[in-house]
Amino acid sequence: RQPEVRTVAGAEEKVKGNGRGQRGEYLTTATGTRLYETDHSLTAGERGPTLLQDHHLREKITHFDHERIPERVVHARGAAAHGTFLANGAAENICKASLFASGARTPVFVRFSTVLGSRGSADTVRDTRGFATKFYTDEGVFDLVGNNIPVFFIQDGIKFPDIIHAAKPHPDREIPQAQSAHDTFWDFVSLHTEATAHTLWNMSDRGIPRSYRMMEGFGIHTFRLVNADGETNLVKFHWKPAAGVHSLVWEEAQIAGGVDPDFHRRDLADAIEAGAYPSWDLGVQVFPDTEDEMFEGIDLLDPTKIVPEELAPVQVIGTMTLDANPTNFFAETEQVAFHPGHLVPGVDITNDRLLQARLFSYLDTQITRLGGPNFDQIPINRPHAPVNDMLRDGFHQDGVHTGVAPYHPNSLDGGCPFMASADSAAYIEVPEEVSGRKGRQAPASFDDHFSQARLFYRSLSPVEQEHVAQAYTFELGKCYEENIKTRNLGILANIDAGLVSIVAGGLGLPVPEPTEPLSDPELSPALSQVGAEWPVD
Ligand code: HEM
């Protein structure tokens, strides 16, 4: 949006961007005073000291000194693009959100990222990728903050600092940058076996995507959708790339990363600039909203579990196309703030305790990262729906609020804003029955840490399985502590006998015995059919 341009003394003014800081013909100070010189400090004599009174020097340097903001504590490195989501109407019967109405077009901004590396790290590392989408709907902002891997490392958000501390570079040497090949990572995942399925996905080709354009995306958690009649369903969100799912092989990733550490960032921007717009279908797996929140024996509140598509097919509900690069990386890609709690009427959360912790974490971190509580007013974060909140003041307040009564109830300013009816508002909690003893606890189903890792490994083609074995051998080979390697071999023994013997051979260590049966007798009949005959795409 271009601001109104006031001309000075009849002169035609040039406006760039949104006009802030780039208006008019002449170089000025931040307060609009024209400058005649910007290359020399004000000094006493040709060879003398610089004078404190040089406002232009001090302003220029001081602003520069504060140009950087903290990088994201995770997902620091990313690339983003603008686009549109077009709904096909298939979700209308399960969700009342206007963005899913047939033919609805919603502007989106999508940021892809690696998880562990810093802002300047390479794109091509073995890591999970973030896939975060901001839908600017006419009912408010909806953020789908997902990853390219459908399972997560942990079941409970209270463990997030642990997994991230373990996976980030060692605190003493600050290496390795964005590789999982180090002792702390492998130490943690060997002691914390609920990470097994995610680690296996990471060691598969999914951990080194060919392009952001060729990745699937997953909401991971189970969400609750509500339709116009108030009926609810549980769903998992999936993005399916039109370009198909493709990965680099390890050697390609090493060469690409060496030649061009911006490999994925460049690929996304170049494709869009060339008019080869990336697109994805958005789909949902739908499950009945039963009291136990289970499906075919799979706990829908456990984010370390998927539901195989053979058991619950993905139903396409719309298509997203990215067709514009950001104008300014900092203003858009860096300042965008996603939040899993940004919901619209018809989309609700579940009791997944990983999701529940995320609801706290994102806003909290963004208050630091983006300098106070008003970052929703930054252009990239502004909703396209009208905002009428009672939030006031704070650092970087850009609004000039009128009236005297930002509180509820009030009788001044013409009274309070109207409250929406329950069926047109968000955050209408489904009145679930909740009971139980207070305690730090988890359901028994959360103890199954290996069946899904086995399911995933079985689904891979022989060459993909070979890549997994090579990845484990390489990454564990980088560990200094032998007992960490040995403990991880113990985990692999619970996944597949062939896999553990190749990796143990590569590391020159003995092959351990499994500590639990590899046959998954506990799986439901339908689930135990899934795996061996999965097509490989
Ligand atoms: C950032 C995904 C779990 C805390 C992100 C981003 C993605 C993401 C995609 C980058 C957003 C962007 O591009 O700006 C996920 C997924 C999770 C998960 C899919 C699990 C299913 C968690 C948990 C926590 C957490 C459990 C903490 C309890 C954060 C924080 C950021 C972040 C602090 C940085 C946000 C910012 O600075 O704007 N996450 N995350 N995440 N995540 Fe998560």
Tens digits of per-residue pLDDT, 43-68? 999 999 999 999 999 999 999 999 99
How do beta strands 217-218 and 232-241 pair?
antiparallel
Q: Is the CB of 239 under 6 A from ligand 1?
A: no
Question: How much distance in Å is there from the Cα of 303 to the middle of ligand 1?
Answer: 14
- pLDDT over 90 at 181, yes or no: no
Question: How much distance in Å is there from the Cα of 147 to the middle of ligand 1?
Answer: 9
Tell me the average pLDDT across 518-535.
60
Contact 323, 272 (CB under 8 A): yes
Q: Which percentage of the chain shows pLDDT scores above 90?
A: 86
Q: Is the CB of 116 under 6 A from ligand 1?
A: no
Provide DSSP, 208-260.
SBS-GGG--EE--S-EEEE-TTS-EEEEEEEEEETT---B--HHHHHHHHHH-
Residue 203 tokens, joined: 């060691």
Helices 462-477, 497-507: inter-axial angle, 10-degree rounding: 40
Mutate which of 69, 71, 74, 158 for ligand 1 pocket (most atoms within 8 A of beta carbon): 74
- Amino acid at the residue 479: C
SS (H, E, C) 140-178: EEEEEEEECCCCCCCCCHHHHHHHHHHHCCCCCCCCCCC
pLDDT confidence tier of residue 418, bands split at 50, 70 and 90: very high
Distance CA 118, CA 175 (A): 11
Question: How much distance in Å is there from the Cα of 421 to the middle of ligand 1?
Answer: 32
Nearest Cα residue to atom 23 of ligand 1: 358
Contacts with 433 (C-beta within 8 Å, 6 or more apart), sequence order: 291
Atom of ligand 1 nearest to the CA of 145: 9
Question: How much distance in Å is there from the Cα of 174 to the middle of ligand 1?
Answer: 22
Mutate which of 143, 153, 361, 381 for ligand 1 pocket (most atoms within 8 A of beta carbon): 361
pLDDT confidence tier of residue 1, bands split at 50, 70 and 90: very low
Burial degree of 411 (CB within 10 A; 0-12, 13-18, 19+): exposed
pLDDT confidence tier of residue 13, bands split at 50, 70 and 90: low
Distance CA 531, CA 537 (A): 14
pLDDT confidence tier of residue 524, bands split at 50, 70 and 90: low
Distance CA 154, CA 160 (A): 7
Contact 295, 330 (CB under 8 A): no
Q: How many CB atoms lie within 10 A of CB 120?
A: 11
What does the DSSP 8-state code read for residue 334? I
Q: Is the CB of 146 under 6 A from ligand 1?
A: yes
What are the Cα distances from residue 301, in Å, to 7, 29, 294, 305?
Answer: 59, 55, 8, 9
Q: Is the CB of 240 under 6 A from ligand 1?
A: no
